[in-house]
Amino acid sequence: MSITRRELIATAAGLTAAPVVKNFPHIWVPQSSIKPVVIASGNGNTVKHDTNETCVQRAFRMMTGGTDVLDALVAGVNIVELDPADTSVGYGGLPNAEGVVQLDSCLMHGRKKWAGGVACLEGVRTPSLVARAVMQHTDHHLLVGPGAREFARRMGFTIESDLNTDASRRAWLEWMRRTDPGHYLDPAKRDGDAAALSMIEDGWIDPEHYYGTINCNGINDKGDVAGVTTTSGLAFKIPGRVGDSPILGAGLYVDQAVGAAGSTGRGEANLYNLSSYLIVEELRRGAHPKDAGIAALKRVAANTEKRLQLESGRPAFNLQFYVLDAKGRHAGVVMFGGGRYAVCDEAGPRHEDLVVAF
């Protein structure tokens, strides 16, 4: 095959940033400039369960040790799913209005272009592992309810009759004491929300765990991007309610060439705007992760119905996004109020401040 002088010059120009092998200056070796990093919601660097690692620590250690990037992220969020102290995810997550723990999760692998999810899954402490099985063993992206549970059983997962802990069951009983057990509310009164908010004020529920969730995204030194989101969903939700977490484009979206985004907070607001997809598209246009996330929060605010607005016009709920681009740059953004998100890179695990939109 012949090559023109113009093609030769263009090829050489494209290689000027690459290093040469010592003593062999005519040999050019490609070198990745991507520094691996794992980011997550704040609980990704607090919960340790029965290990000496947090989610982002484990994921980063495994990812940089050669484990597939998505497998490493799943292993990280398993720590949070299995910890009963985190009542927003997995085992011991706050149940629905009937006292049943229903779990949601989805994940995406950028390079393989694979995805999988489960919703309203009962009886399995680690829904992220079932979502991975959906991704690996089926041609589907989402299994729900009894079908998801039966699939998990056939895949060899242990099915438990009840994922409540004493703490989550006590919280549910207290909620039952304060409100209509059917949870079908008079829209003008919103008694169910009022009861839950009063429980937050009285210390029954961590305000960060009312909507809950953990999102975790990572990129390795080869540029492989992946993400996973897992949750027990809105506390005391109507049975069968599914929020944004297991929905591709809402609770999570990954594009190998661009980056990843995921969310915690009010799922309905995120679903309405498919915000994670919106963020990735902003990254595709060249936006920095921070600016891409802020753009999504502004879109959510603009599309918020009046009954969910404060007198100022600002949304009366909170929403967070965790954004990672294909260069390894990252940011966490929040509608209002501040907070922190988890990061682990070669400098170790830590929290960084969320950027506030309003």
Contact 357, 333 (CB under 8 A): yes
Instruction: Judge whether residue 22 has pLDDT over 50.
Output: no
pLDDT band at 341 (very low <50, low <70, confident <90, very high): very high
Give the tens place of pLDDT for each residue, 208-248: 555 568 999 999 999 999 999 999 999 999 999 999 999 99
Indicate the burial class of 178 (C-beta count within 10 angstroms; 0-12, 13-18, 19 or more).
middle
213 tagged catalytic: yes
> What is the three-class DSSP state of 8?
helix
Phi-psi region of 3 (alpha: psi -120 to 50; beta: other; left: phi over 0): beta
pLDDT band at 50 (very low <50, low <70, confident <90, very high): confident
Average pLDDT estimate for 116-136:
98
The number of angstroms, rounded, from the C-alpha of 56 to the middle of its chain's C-alpha atoms is 12
**What pLDDT does residue 203 have?**
74
| Predicted TM-score of the model (pTM) | 0.85
- CA 147 to each of CA 9, 115, 122, 143, 272: distance values in angstroms, whole numbers, following the listed order: 58, 18, 10, 6, 26
pLDDT band at 188 (very low <50, low <70, confident <90, very high): low
Instruction: Judge whether residue 13 has pLDDT over 50.
Output: no
Angle at CA of residue 216, ends 94 and 273, nearest 5°: 80
**What pLDDT does residue 198 have?**
72
- CA 236 to each of CA 169, 174, 253: distance values in angstroms, whole numbers, following the listed order: 11, 11, 27
pLDDT band at 106 (very low <50, low <70, confident <90, very high): very high
Question: Among residues of the chain, what percentage have pLDDT more than 70?
Answer: 84
Contact 319, 334 (CB under 8 A): yes
User: What's the DSSP call for residue 253?
Assistant: E
Instruction: Judge whether residue 194 has pLDDT over 90.
Output: no
Q: Which two tokens stand for residue 19?
A: 């290093």
User: How many angstroms separate the CA atoms of 297 and 169, rounded?
Assistant: 34
Architecture of domain 37-356: 4-Layer Sandwich (3.60)
| Mode of pairing for the β-strands spanning 355-356 and 114-121 | unpaired
Give the tens place of pLDDT for each residue, 270-282: 999 999 999 999 9
Measured in degrees and rounded to the nearest 5, phi and psi for residue 197 equal -65, -35
pLDDT band at 94 (very low <50, low <70, confident <90, very high): very high
Measured in degrees and rounded to the nearest 5, phi and psi for residue 275 equal -65, -35
Catalytic: which of 54, 213, 229, 264? Answer: 213
Residue-averaged pLDDT of the chain: 88
Domain boundaries, the chain: 37-356
- Beta-sheet strands, E only, within 93-132: 103-109, 114-121
User: How many angstroms separate the CA atoms of 88 and 103, rounded?
Assistant: 10
**What pLDDT does residue 208 have?**
59
**What pLDDT does residue 177 have?**
82
pLDDT band at 176 (very low <50, low <70, confident <90, very high): confident
